[in-house]
Chain A
Amino acid sequence: MIEINELLMTYGTNEVLNIRSLSLDEGVSYGIVGHNGAGKTTLFKCITNIIMTYRGSIKIMGENVKERNEILTNVGLVLDGMSVYTNQTGWFNIQYFAGLRGDYNEERVRQLAADLDLYGVLDQKVKTYSYGMQKKLILLIALIHTPKILILDEPFRGLDIDTVRWFKDYLKQLTKEGLTLLISSHVINDLEELCDEVYVVDRGRISEHIDLKTEKARQYRLIDTTNNTRLIEILEENIIPFEMKDERIKLDIDSAKWGTVYQQLQNEGIEINEMSRVKVLEEKLN
Chain B
Amino acid sequence: MTGKLIFKMEMFKFKNDKKYLMTAGIIGVLNTILALMVINMDVMNYYDYGMLGTVIGFYFMLMLGNIIFMFFYPFHVLSMDYKNNVIATMIASGVNRTKLFVSKIGAIIVNTIMIGLITTFVPFVLLMLKATYEAGFGIFFEEILGFFQIVDIDFISLMLMGLTSYLGMIMMMTAASTILKGGNLSFLLFIGFSMATSIATGILSSITTAFDLYGTGLIVYNIFINLIIIAVFGYLGLSAIKKQNL
* Chain A residues close to B by CB (< 8 Å): 45, 48-53, 69-75, 77, 79, 81-88, 92, 95-97, 99-102, 138, 141
Contact = CB atoms under 8 A, between A and B. Distances in A.
Interface in B36-56: none
A75 B12 contact: no
Contacts of A45: 88, 245
Given A82-B88, A99-B5, A101-B1, A50 B245 contact: yes
A100 B84 contact: no
A45 B245 CA distance: 9
Contact of A95 (B12, B19, B88, B89): B12
Of the candidates A81, A82, A141, the one having the most CB atoms from chain B within 10 angstroms of its own CB is A82
Given A70-B96, A83-B85, A48 B1 contact: no
30 contacts: A48-B91, A49-B91, A50-B245, A50-B246, A52-B242, A52-B245, A69-B91, A69-B94, A70-B96, A72-B93, A72-B94, A75-B92, A77-B89, A77-B92, A77-B93, A79-B88, A79-B92, A82-B85, A82-B92, A83-B84, A84-B86, A87-B19, A87-B84, A88-B16, A92-B16, A99-B12, A100-B1, A101-B1, A101-B93, A138-B89
Contacts of A102: 1-2, 5
Contacts of B126: none
Contact of B9 (A52, A74, A96, A141): A96
Given A69-B96, A82-B85, A138-B89, 14 more contacts: A49-B92, A50-B92, A50-B246, A70-B1, A72-B93, A79-B88, A83-B89, A84-B89, A87-B84, A99-B5, A99-B12, A100-B1, A101-B1, A102-B1
B205 interface: no
Nearest to A44: B92
Nearest to A97: B93
A272 B243 CA distance: 62
A96 B90 CA distance: 10
Interface residues of B, number: 29
Nearest to A82: B89
Given A70-B1, A83-B86, A86-B84, A96 B94 contact: no
A75 B85 CA distance: 19
A77 B90 CA distance: 11
Contacts of B97: 69
Contacts of B243: 52-53
B92 A72 contact: yes
A17 to B, nearest CB: 13
Given A50-B246, A51-B245, A52-B242, A100 B88 contact: no
